[in-house]
Amino acid sequence: MSVEMNLTRAQFDEVMVPNYAPAAVIPVRGAGSRVWDQEGNEFIDFAGGIAVNCLGHCHPALVSALKEQGEKLWHLSNVMTNEPALELATKLVNATFAERVYFANSGAEANEAALKLARRYALDNHGADKDQIIAFDKAFHGRTFFTVTVGGQAAYSDGFGPKPQSITHVPFNDIAALEAVISDKTCAIMLEPLQGEGGIINGDPEFLKAVRRLADKHDALVIFDEVQTGVGRTGELFAYMGTDIVPDILTSAKALGGGFPIAAMLTSAKIAAHLKIGTHGSTYGGNPLACAVGNAVMDVVNTKEVLDGVKHREQLFRDGLAAINAKYNVFSEVRGKGLLIGAVLNEQYEGRSRDFLVASVAEGLMSLMAGANVVRFAPSLVIPEADIAEGLLRFERAVAKVVAG
């Protein structure tokens, strides 16, 4: 006998670990770029589950793929392979530099696999002394202890005891700083081509070329964390495609499943060979449900229509934000690429990005922060232009309220 529950935000504090502080509203239904809460209030979604819902909510192709696979096969573990996994891996290989794919469930897991592979590759080829990983200030690579230590925000890794060693952080986009610390002991350089959590900071083209040049000089691998930038977010299938360099290892998650948990690590056959049988694994990684949805995502996103549409929508956002700023003068600049956009608050509103987020929710708009000084937008890649226009109107009302105090 089931008991009907009156589920409220207050119950979160009674039954959930307090590491999150969710908003008062509880969404219950979504369609495209619109979401409705328990009270029937409607929101336009400029957040996309933090760049996850790349095709919005309940996209027909994804719903169909999940339903169809749900009546065939759910789980096998990696004692056996399955057709959706083979199909998705083949699509990723055919569409990228990669020759081999490893599936996991989250960006942190994909990054953990990438870091372990880089260390193992260096150990096998060069010996135990080649273990240094270089990463960058303000980076974010996940919440496992290894990935959160490699991420360049100590506040996330402090307080859990001794950290993994041989990890060096330098300022992002600083070629001289990178040159000063890299050596033949470096096994990998890990970076986001466009920093997300760190404030929507684009990798400078000359800096990215220097990363590749210095890595090659010292026999180090380049790892691109494309958990947030991948699968169409920047207007390319993966952000590296819009640069002059190719990484050795690339990680993807978030948008790869359009809201269903899946992640992938992509690399060459030569490098992949060092994860021999038994060296790494994942119980759920590559399960048929997730891979079926991932196949549907790839089929929709990896098209000229959708990728070109991302670039067009970026301009609509930039034009709209410029018009709002001309009225209210709250932003110093708008950063980012494609539909990963950061509106940077000027000195007068420094540290108040959360105020803009809260005011937006009150106006029926879901947005994000990228630190205390940046309002972040990461909507569906196929968000209707009418929803962009309406969402920006709601955001303008939110800005007006913050400015008015």
Active site residues: 140, 225, 254
Q: Decide if 292 contacts 66 (C-beta within 8 A).
A: yes
395 has binding-site annotation: no
Q: What are the beta bridge partners of residue 343?
A: 334, 375
Q: Nearest-5° angle of CA 27, CA 29, CA 31?
A: 125
Q: Decide if 74 contacts 253 (C-beta within 8 A).
A: no
225 has binding-site annotation: yes
Q: Where are the beta strands (DSSP E) in 41-113?
A: 42-45, 100-104
Helix (H) or strand (E) run with residue 265 in it = strand 263-267
- Of 272, 290, 301, the residue nearest 380 (C-alpha): 301
Helix extents (H) in 273-384: 288-301, 304-328, 353-362
142 has binding-site annotation: no
DSSP helix/strand/coil, 249? strand
Q: What are the beta bridge partners of residue 249?
A: 223, 267
Task: Give the dihedral sign, CA 391/378/10/352.
Answer: negative
77 has binding-site annotation: no
C-alpha to C-alpha distances, 108 to 93, 137, 158, 249, 326, nearest whole angstrom = 21, 18, 17, 14, 39
Residue bearing tokens 């696979």: 69
204 has binding-site annotation: no
108 has binding-site annotation: yes
230 has binding-site annotation: no
390 has binding-site annotation: no
* Binding-site residue ranges for pyridoxal 5'-phosphate: 107-108, 140, 225-228, 283
Q: Residues at the annotated binding site?
A: 107-108, 140, 143, 225-228, 282-283
